[in-house]
Amino acid sequence: MTVHTQRNAHAADASSSAPLAETTVRRLALGLSTGALTWSAVSFLYGFNPATEAGVKITDLGGLAFQSGALCLLAIMGRTGATGVSRVARAMLRVERVLLALAMAWSVFHAFLPAARDSVWMGILDAFWPLSMLGMFVIGVKVAVAGRWRGAARLWPLVAESWVVVTLPTMAILGSSVSDVVGAAHLLVGYTTLGLIIAFRPELVRGRD
């Protein structure tokens, strides 16, 4: 590797690891809270599996708002090394972004292409919704174990990202009417609150050396 190439590599590393400004952290954190609050409100009104076409579109777009907020959270995690600084820890976030992007594609297509909702390709995309949420749960565990975030910010991602392991079993055991309420309330307690914690205490997510 030439000296010039080495300098470029070091510059790229420095840029990717540069600390986020507090205003940027707050903006991204409020994006998370807003997205989660939107989906929670829509879910309280329509549930997660509405019967009407209007309800389906609104819940799909509410889910898309939440997914956009989750991308804001991943941006904060990536720039602060929340999962750790190893290659595997960084790869976890990249994989989750891919899963989430595919789940977001499903949200858009499901909302605006009703004729394709029973197609095979739509069913494949649909699988990335729960997969992306399971990925977020794994990341929540990793953030807690890595300990680079502090205080409530260290543990609350695990609370927020347990959404899928709380809501899906509730649906299987108690039915959709109960799981709709549990899932919507969990979004408030989990992701919405996590965004507010980070927005009001951005110093908690500064990575430790």
Report pLDDT digits (tens) over 52-81. 999 999 999 999 999 999 999 999 999 999
Residue 209 confidence (pLDDT): 52
Reply yes or no on whether the pLDDT at 18 is more than 80.
Answer: no
The span from the CA of 81 to the CA of 119, in Å, is 39
Distances in whole angstroms, Cα of residue 122 to Cα of each of 18, 24, 108, 146: 39, 35, 11, 36
Contacts of residue 13, defined as CB under 8 A and 6 or more positions apart, other chains included, come to none
Query: What's the confidence (pLDDT) of residue 206?
Result: 82
Q: For Cα atoms 73, 124, 59, give the angle at the middle one, nearest 5 degrees.
A: 55
Dihedral of CA 96/100/102/103: which sign?
A: positive
> Given this model, what pLDDT does residue 13 score?
43
Q: Rounded to 10 degrees, what is the CA torsion of 180, 184, 189, 195?
A: 150
Residue range 116-127: mean pLDDT, rounded: 96
Q: Which of 132, 133, 106, 103 is nearest to 119 (CA)?
A: 106
Q: In this predicted structure, what is the pLDDT of residue 168?
A: 87
Helical segments of 47-116, H only? 53-80, 87-112
Distance of CA 81 to the CA centre of its chain: 16
Quickly state the pLDDT bin for 194 (edges 50, 70, 90).
Answer: very high
Let me know: does 48 contact 183? Beta carbons within 8 Å.
yes
User: Bigger pLDDT: 168 or 61?
Assistant: 61
- Tokens 């309800």 identify what position? 55
What number of CA atoms fall less than 13 Å from residue 190's CA on the CB side? Answer: 28
Angle of helix 22-46 versus helix 53-80 axis, rounded to 10: 160
Which pair of structure tokens corresponds to residue 169? 């079993």
Scanning the structure block, which residue is given the tokens 């996590």?
194
